[in-house]
Amino acid sequence: MLTLPCPSCGGPLNFRSKTSLFTVCEYCRSSIIKKNADIESIGKMAELPADLSPIQIGSRGRFKGSRFYVAGRIIYSWDDGTWNEWYLLFDNGKTGWLAEAQGEFIISFPLEGQKIPPIEFFAHHKHFKVDSQKFSLSDRKNIHYIGSEGELPFKALKDYKSTVCDFLSKEDDLFLTIEYPAFVEKPFAYVGKYTSLKRLKMENIRLLEGWS
Amino acid sequence: MVKKSKNKDKIKPTLKSFNCRSCGSTVNIKILGNTINVTCSSCKAIIDANDPNFKILQEGTSKRTQEPEIPLNSRGKLFGVLWEVTGFLVKSDGPYYWTEYLLFNPYHGYRWLVEVDGHFAFYKRIHKSFAYNTYTKNISYKSNGYKIYNRGLAKVEYVEGEFFWRVKKGDTTEVADFINPPYGLSCEQKLGEVNWTLGHHVDQQRVIDAFKLKDGLLASAGVGALQPSPARARFQKYFKTLVASLAIIAIVQVLRMVHADNKLVHSDVIEYTRSISPNYKRGESNSYKSEVFSISGGKSNVKLWAKSKIRNAWIYLDALLVDAKTQKGIPISLEISYYRGYDWSEGSLDSSKFAYNVPDGDYYLNIKTRGGGSLRNSELITIKVYRDTIIYFNLIFSLVLIGILPLVTYLASFNFETQRWSNSDYSPYVHWDN
């Protein structure tokens, strides 16, 4: 783990992963960009809206035998709500995301080596094959960025907007999402599973008064 | 298990409070981050919780179409998890209506408790794509088959509480319910968005206990769509016993068939004579005494079989199987009777009778014959004596006996299912003529 002083307040900034390129100072809420060993403050991050999420930075869990650490979070918003994307650092060096929306959890990983069709494709097509698994388009929405905390593998931009296509398959809980950023050519695809805190054997989760 | 943080203090959940733009009362949002649709607790206006100005989506009518039997904000432990009632909906489809309670726990998410005519079911979301259209009659999930029970248009009649989706009075969704009691699969469709939920029946008493409902709940009516059938459970139990008994009986029977001696120990032809001459057969007065024959091979049954070609008459053989040594007789009497017309017949030309647990030894038969009907003056009767034969009567009797309970419970189960499906347009028990 790399610890550097915050260029704004001098507080410690922890970079648990070499792949982290962005963080928010937990003391002064400065947004920090990291380039190699250099760090630069690019302004203050607004206070994040309160929520009842049971996850927090520092929560730990397990997926398919590998332990992960919750290192960061992005909050996105769409017409009918907001959701959290928790950035996961695995002990084996892999990274992933834990999406939390409407009380449901999805763990997902970048889909590599697969040609992703342009967004226009899904205007007429409802299905998409990954390997031999057929996915069906279940939801499509325009999203924008609200805020972030902790480490992230990219710079979280205030004006970030994208269109997200979510897919389900015939296999229970299997999930695919393709994100088409508004100002970037390349789409991102993630595959994963619907899961639960219990199945992820989550530890160090938030203690909410009155709840168990 | 989920472990919670030890080193950090408990976080007190914050509320978002604002004044209702319709009536000015304070409105609280408890489930921050999820709730996007909230109603004013005072005027029941439906408010956009996501909007910075909390705009009114639909003005409230103070009139409640139905009081929630489980109060909003009350908590109850169901299936090991503490749930809070966060939303209440009344929905209708034509003359039918039902209520839905939205339950929440921050560690477990949302569930639905759906009440129809006092029958409760507990639903959770499932995440997969089904091969489904509006004609689908059967759906399979996790290798269980579900049958269509109801399909229609659900209309929202009343909204109260916090919701993570947009809902207001008058909204309609296409709904379809598939059942495999006590489980059910439900599909809700609106503007291309499809949501599937998997539910199971919950006993009313369990709901009352969980939410500590002092006044209980209104009595349930009829049979619920997902209500488990007690008769069916009993039938399945008895059916298992039946199958096991049949297997045992079959084995016993096969063993009997393999091992049965079925040995002919004596045969003869005797004569019935109408007793005109009292001194027939050297004065033995129409009675027959056989020669001594030996029975050996261990205690077993003995069968006396007799046949005579009579017509519209009967002959009774008053027979004793007599131990030659002790002169003790075992009764083994039988009757042959046979009647026939040109297109009917009754009785049989042969008949048999068993004596049981007959020990080895030397025996003879002592038979007195009597008769009636249109007998000739003399009739010949063939008699045969066997030892250790297979008795089919025992088999048939035990089959009938062990079949009674499964049959009775099957009929009760059938009756229960007919009632369950009486609220469905897809009843397999009703055949509609077009």
Partners of B125 on chain A (C-beta within 8 Å) are 104
Tell which B residues from 136 to 155 touch A, by Cβ distance under 8 Å: 142
Query: ipTM of the assembly?
Result: 0.94
Touching check for A51 and chain B: CB below 8 Å? Answer: yes
Q: What gap in Å lies between CA B181 and CA B318, rounded to an integer?
A: 61
Q: What gap in Å lies between CA B317 and CA A95, rounded to an integer?
A: 97
pLDDT for B434 beyond 60 = no
At B294-326, the pLDDT tens digits run 999 889 999 999 999 998 999 999 999 999 999
Question: Could you give the angle at which helices B392-420 and B230-259 cross, rounded to 10 degrees?
Answer: 160
Give yes or no for a cis peptide into B182 (omega within 30° of 0). yes
Asked if B166's CB is within 8 angstroms of A173's CB, the reply is no
- Strands B109-116 and B183-190, bridge-based pairing: unpaired
Contact A44, A70 (CB under 8 A): no
Residue B291, pLDDT score: 92
pLDDT band for position B372 (cuts 50, 70, 90)? confident
Residue B247, SS3?
helix
- Strands B334-340 and A161-169, bridge-based pairing: unpaired
Radius of gyration of chain B (CA): 39
Partners of B2 on chain A (C-beta within 8 Å) are 197-198, 201-203, 205
pLDDT for B62 beyond 80 = no
Residue B142, pLDDT score: 93
Contact B41, B25 (CB under 8 A): yes
At A150-162, the pLDDT tens digits run 999 988 777 889 9
Please name the amino acid found at residue B58.
Answer: Q
At B238-274, the pLDDT tens digits run 889 889 988 998 898 888 888 888 899 999 999 888 7
Q: What is the mean pLDDT of chain B?
A: 89
The 8-class DSSP code of residue B12 comes to P
The 8-class DSSP code of residue B232 comes to H
Residue B280, pLDDT score: 45
Q: Which two tokens stand for residue B418?
A: 């007919």
Residue B3, pLDDT score: 56
Asked if B110's CB is within 8 angstroms of A103's CB, the reply is yes
H-assigned helices in B46-169: none
Asked if B194's CB is within 8 angstroms of A138's CB, the reply is yes
Please name the amino acid found at residue B256.
Answer: R
Partners of A208 on chain B (C-beta within 8 Å) are 10-11, 13, 106
pLDDT for B432 beyond 80 = no
Q: Cα–Cα distances in Å, from B312 out to B345, B376, B380?
A: 9, 11, 15
Residue B133, pLDDT score: 86
pLDDT band for position B199 (cuts 50, 70, 90)? very high
- The pTM (predicted TM-score) of the whole model is 0.81
Touching check for B248 and chain A: CB below 8 Å? Answer: no
What share of chain B in percent tops pLDDT 70? 94
Q: What gap in Å lies between CA B240 and CA B217, rounded to an integer?
A: 37
Touching check for A126 and chain B: CB below 8 Å? Answer: no
Residue B394, SS3?
helix
Residue B2, pLDDT score: 57
Q: What gap in Å lies between CA A149 and CA A71, rounded to an integer?
A: 9
What share of chain A in percent tops pLDDT 70? 100
Contact B411, B238 (CB under 8 A): no
pLDDT in tens, chain A (212 residues): 889 999 999 999 999 998 899 999 999 999 999 988 788 998 888 889 999 999 999 999 999 999 999 999 999 999 889 999 999 999 999 999 999 999 999 999 999 888 899 999 998 888 999 888 999 999 999 999 999 999 999 887 778 899 999 999 999 999 999 999 988 778 999 999 999 999 999 999 999 988 88
Asked if B105's CB is within 8 angstroms of A202's CB, the reply is no
pLDDT band for position B282 (cuts 50, 70, 90)? very low
Contact A73, A83 (CB under 8 A): no
pLDDT for B279 beyond 50 = no
Element (H, E) at A147: strand A133-150
Q: What gap in Å lies between CA A138 and CA A168, rounded to an integer?
A: 6
Give the contacts of B189 (CB within 8 A, at least 6 positions apart).
B173, B174, B175, B195
Q: What gap in Å lies between CA A180 and CA A183, rounded to an integer?
A: 9
pLDDT for B278 beyond 70 = no
